């Protein structure tokens, strides 16, 4: 049996049957603010990870690669993930022409509006609703990472599609494995950028399933949260 077969099972195993029929775990939403989980994103043409003089530079980074913003690991063009938990945040960003910068994350649009209205520079700050997909990254050798994939603006259509696929599949959110890739799209100005491509590829091994279940418990308890302060940088080429 190859290492890839150990991590991803093509046919739903018996240990998942009861869970799929009895649970919808992983789709609730709670506030989280203690432990930051690394974020996974796509290298765009002008991403800082490609600029040698930028602190975020990653040697060998190429457009379309998927990367970890904490470890700087490059996962390649495709990576297998197990979705674990979903929540939506409302982020405040200052306009780049006014200096830019992350100004806070809030659980509701009402909270975000209230915080924005208290700022002296509120007119230059916008609210961006952002989908946070907590996942387990599964490498071909069977090793795993905990991460979050943030989707905002044009990526929200991918987020909605993924959530719909997961809901139709039934069972715990973490009972399937998906291959995430980068796909080229075009914005209203005719400029190309890279978005997420998603395809279901199988079921998690028991080891992966248990790791995902643990992450679900940690995140849903409020003991972990996503890193927000660089979400906008990699998505800016869409507009």
Q: Extract the tokens encoding 221.
A: 């308890």
Half-sphere exposure of 31 toward its Cβ, with a 13 Å CA cutoff? 7
154 domain residue, yes or no = yes
CA atoms of 6 and 25, how far apart (whole Å): 24
213 domain residue, yes or no = yes
What's residue 236's pLDDT? 44
120 domain residue, yes or no = no
CA atoms of 211 and 142, how far apart (whole Å): 12
CA angle at 67 for the pair 58 and 90, rounded to the nearest 5°: 115
What's residue 25's pLDDT? 67
Domain count, the chain: 1
What's residue 14's pLDDT? 80
What's residue 105's pLDDT? 86
What's residue 6's pLDDT? 64
| pTM check: above 0.85 | no
97 domain residue, yes or no = no
146 domain residue, yes or no = yes
93 domain residue, yes or no = no
211 domain residue, yes or no = yes
Tell me the residue range of the domain where 141 lies.
Answer: 3-87+132-238
What's residue 30's pLDDT? 42
31 domain residue, yes or no = yes
**Close Cβ partners of 23 (under 8 Å, ≥ 6 residues apart):** 171, 172
Closest by CA to 225, choosing from 116, 139, 105, 112, is 105
| HEC assignment per residue over the chain | CCHHHHHEECCCCHHHHHHHHHCCCCCCCCCCCCCEECEEEECCCCCHHHCCCCCCCCCCCCCCCEEECCCCCEEECEEEEEEEEEEEEEEEEECHHHCCCEEEEECCHHHHHHHHHCCCCHHHEEEEEEEEEEEEEECCCCCEEEEEEEEEHHHHHHHHHHHHHHHHHCCCCCCCEEEEEEEEEECCCCCEEEEEEEEEEEEECHHHHHHHHHHHHHHHCCCCEECCCCHHHHHHHHC
What's residue 239's pLDDT? 37
- The pLDDT tens digits along the chain (239 residues) read 455 556 777 777 787 777 776 666 666 654 445 456 889 999 999 899 999 999 999 999 999 999 998 899 999 999 999 999 999 999 988 887 877 788 888 888 999 889 999 988 888 888 888 999 999 999 989 999 999 999 988 899 999 999 999 999 999 999 999 999 999 998 878 888 999 999 999 999 999 999 999 999 988 988 777 766 655 444 444 43
């Amino acid at each position: 049996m190859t290492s890839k077969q150990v991590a991803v099972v093509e046919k739903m195993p018996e240990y998942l049957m009861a869970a799929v029929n009895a649970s919808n775990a992983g789709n609730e939403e709670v506030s989280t603010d203690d432990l930051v989980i690394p974020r996974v994103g796509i290298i765009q043409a002008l991403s800082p990870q490609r600029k040698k003089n930028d602190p975020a530079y990653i040697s060998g980074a190429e457009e379309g690669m998927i990367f970890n913003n904490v470890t700087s690991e490059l996962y390649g063009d495709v990576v297998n993930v197990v979705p674990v938990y979903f929540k939506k945040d409302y982020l405040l960003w200052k306009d780049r022409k006014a200096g830019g910068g992350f100004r806070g994350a809030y659980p509701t649009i009402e909270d975000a509006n209230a915080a924005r209205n208290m700022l002296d520079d509120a007119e230059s700050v916008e609210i961006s609703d952002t989908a946070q997909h907590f996942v387990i990254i599964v490498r071909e050798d069977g090793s795993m990472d905990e991460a979050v994939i943030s989707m905002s603006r044009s990526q929200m259509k991918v987020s909605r599609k993924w959530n719909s696929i997961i809901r139709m599949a039934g069972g715990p959110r973490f009972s399937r494995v998906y291959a995430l890739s980068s796909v080229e799209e075009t914005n209203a100005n005719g400029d190309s950028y890279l978005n997420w491509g998603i395809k279901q590829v199988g079921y998690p091994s028991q080891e992966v399933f248990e790791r995902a279940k643990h992450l679900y418990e940690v995140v849903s308890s409020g003991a972990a949260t996503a890193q927000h302060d660089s979400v906008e940088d990699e998505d800016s080429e869409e507009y």
